[in-house]
């Protein structure tokens, strides 16, 4: 927690820091969700039906909306259990928000480069999503397991949530690696991701029964 020269109570200062972080986070997520739709520019082409023109853009839009929403739900859960906010926690959250703000642009790049043989769109999309979930893992791992800012959450549950976030990050990393043709590396990364998911489920059940 930052020094408090204003004379306000420590509790009030703590809540102010947390409230400001929550408000900014919600604002960035809301803008990213909106821009996901703005980035779609389907155009009619000769020989294509309305369904053919709109099907893929809408599929990618709704997939991106759900992914951003899923990150927001997880981030909201993280913030709900934070007792206080320090400088590293703030900067790690800003790192996550920078990735969230980038997602609508990546969606557009994915759409434009969808049919290229290089799979550049798929690679960029998967890499940014992997980085987003790694950032989400950091925003939880540091305050929960290092700074002890989540006293209401048991260590087992904290590790379970961290493993869950890293699982998704590795899953998208495996997809990106597969898209660039490194199949020999994509499969081991995918296996590690599945193992982490199993671990997170077991830790979650263990925490619930404790």
Q: Render pLDDT for 121-177 as a digit per residue (tens, 0 to 9).
A: 888 889 999 999 999 999 999 999 999 999 989 999 999 999 999 999 999 999 999
- Please, are residues 131 and 166 in contact by the beta-carbon 8 Å criterion? no
194 vs 58, more confident: 194
pLDDT at 7 over 60: no
3-state helix, strand, coil in the chain (%, to 5): 80, 0, 20
What percentage of the chain has pLDDT greater than the value 70? 86
Q: How high is the pLDDT of residue 57?
A: 74
CA distance 35 to 42: 15
Half-sphere exposure of 89 (CA within 13 A, CB side): 26
- Please, are residues 132 and 69 in contact by the beta-carbon 8 Å criterion? no
What is the sign, positive or negative, of the torsion defined by CA atoms of 110, 112, 115, 121? Answer: negative
Q: Render pLDDT for 85-124 as a digit per residue (tens, 0 to 9).
A: 899 999 999 999 999 999 888 877 887 776 666 688 888 8
pLDDT at 2 over 60: no
- Please, are residues 147 and 177 in contact by the beta-carbon 8 Å criterion? no
pLDDT at 201 over 80: yes
Region of 40 (left: φ > 0; alpha: ψ -120 to 50; beta: rest) is: beta
The CB density around residue 31, as the number of other CB atoms within 10 Å, is 15
């Amino acid at each position: 927690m930052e020094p408090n020269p204003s004379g306000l109570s420590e509790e009030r200062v703590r809540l102010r820091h947390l409230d400001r972080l929550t408000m900014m986070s919600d604002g960035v997520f809301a803008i990213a969700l909106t821009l996901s739709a703005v980035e779609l520019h389907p155009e009619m082409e000769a020989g294509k039906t309305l369904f053919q023109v709109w099907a893929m853009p809408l599929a990618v839009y709704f997939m991106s909306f759900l992914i951003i929403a899923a990150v927001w739900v997880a981030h909201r859960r993280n913030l709900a259990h934070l007792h206080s906010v320090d400088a590293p926690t703030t900067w790690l959250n800003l790192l996550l928000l920078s990735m969230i703000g980038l997602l609508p642009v990546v969606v557009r790049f994915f759409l434009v480069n969808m049919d290229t043989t290089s799979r550049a769109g798929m690679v960029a999309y998967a890499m940014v999503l992997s980085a987003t979930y790694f950032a989400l893992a950091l925003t939880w791992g540091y305050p929960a397991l290092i700074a002890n800012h989540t006293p209401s959450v048991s260590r087992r549950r904290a590790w379970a949530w961290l493993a869950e976030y890293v699982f998704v990050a590795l899953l998208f990393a495996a997809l990106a690696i597969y898209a660039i043709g490194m199949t020999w590396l994509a499969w081991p990364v995918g296996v590690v991701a599945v193992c982490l998911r199993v671990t997170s489920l077991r830790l979650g059940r263990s925490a619930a029964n404790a």
